[in-house]
Amino acid sequence: MTVREFPTSGPGAVPDPEVAAMLATLDAGFPDVATMTAAEVRAAILGRRAPLQRLPDMRLARDLTIEGPGGDLPVRVYRPHGPETALPVIVFAHGGGFVFCDLDSHDEFCRSMAAGVGAVVVSVDYRLAPEHPAPAAHDDVLAALRWTAEHAGEYGGDPTRIALAGDSAGGNLAATVAIAVRDGGGPPVAAQILIYPVIDDDFDTESYRRFGTGHYNTTSAMRWYWRNYAPDGTDDVRLVPTRAATLAELPPAVVITAELDPPCSAGDAYAQRLASDGVPVRHRRYNGLFHGFLTIPSLKATATARTQVWAMIRDVLDQRVG
């Protein structure tokens, strides 16, 4: 089953005034990463971060350190309030161009997802580039998935309903780990949730041509992220999921894209290729919205979109898609 939904207005839409104002603020204030070192970018991003609120409230929010392929691997486990039933589990990889962000940067998003979906969320603080180039981040998320499959029950999770999820660079990691699990024999994954994923390093697409400047997540920034993450090239399915010979037999997918996002075309095409290879897909493109919008709770459009996305995730985890 393939469901493709493009709500709001048609392609080429002008953002509504609130979205346009937010986009202008982001474009004016986001660091010009292509002219900076990774350390400088991280400091600039941290300086812009809102204070950590630890909301919405969770029944459990616990920081743990698990064994990863490069040593200690921090994770944060969230369980929402609710009945004493085993919940589905989402292993989440944050965005940040493979170079920045951490557990705190996506804390509010993970809490909202846990509460909205009704799921245990395991957020992964994977190693960052350029200090740890690819496939370090991929390997860390795979290790976290394997740990989750073994320990989910200790935190009220159902080990038979584990999804991989990520936004931006994390969407890439969710997609590549889903392929690795398929090809490597488990643990089983019930779904892959790809939120405006950075699918590949092809910058010659319609969305890059149309929105590669003036929409804060620029083509020059994306090139910089890839140079830091993959200095030895990207001819490896652990880095770029489209390098896979086939996407058949991958878990059902939820793919979220944003029209004004340079990686949008690649995300749309990946959803279509998944469907063509027989994977159940629900794909929703948000026209008039931009990269990262789901992590900005102050935006009115975000509240509506989150409600829709959480419902899509619930559906796929309840096996109502496919």
Helix (H) or strand (E) holding 71: strand 71-79
Measured between alpha carbons, how far is 100 from 305 in angstroms, rounded to an integer?
A: 25
Q: Quote the CA–CA distance of 225 and 308 in Å, as a whole number.
A: 30
DSSP type of residue 295: G
Q: Sort strands 191-195 and 157-167 into parallel, antiparallel or unpaired.
A: parallel
Q: C-alpha distances in angstroms, 48 versus 25, 26, 31, 101?
A: 12, 10, 10, 12
Write down the residue that tokens 């975000």 correspond to.
Answer: 302
Contact 169, 225 (CB under 8 A): yes
CA 285, CA 275: separation in Å to the nearest integer? 15
Q: Which helix (H) or strand (E) holds 3?
A: strand 2-5
Report the C-alpha gap between 174 and 192 in whole angstroms.
7
Helix (H, G, I), strand (E, B) or coil at 66: strand
Catalytic residues: 168
Residue 56 burial class via C-beta count within 10 angstroms: exposed 0-12, middle 13-18, buried 19 and up:
middle
C-alpha span between 51 and 281 (Å, rounded) = 36
Burial classification of residue 12, based on how many CB atoms lie within 10 Å of its CB (0-12 exposed, 13-18 middle, 19 or more buried): exposed
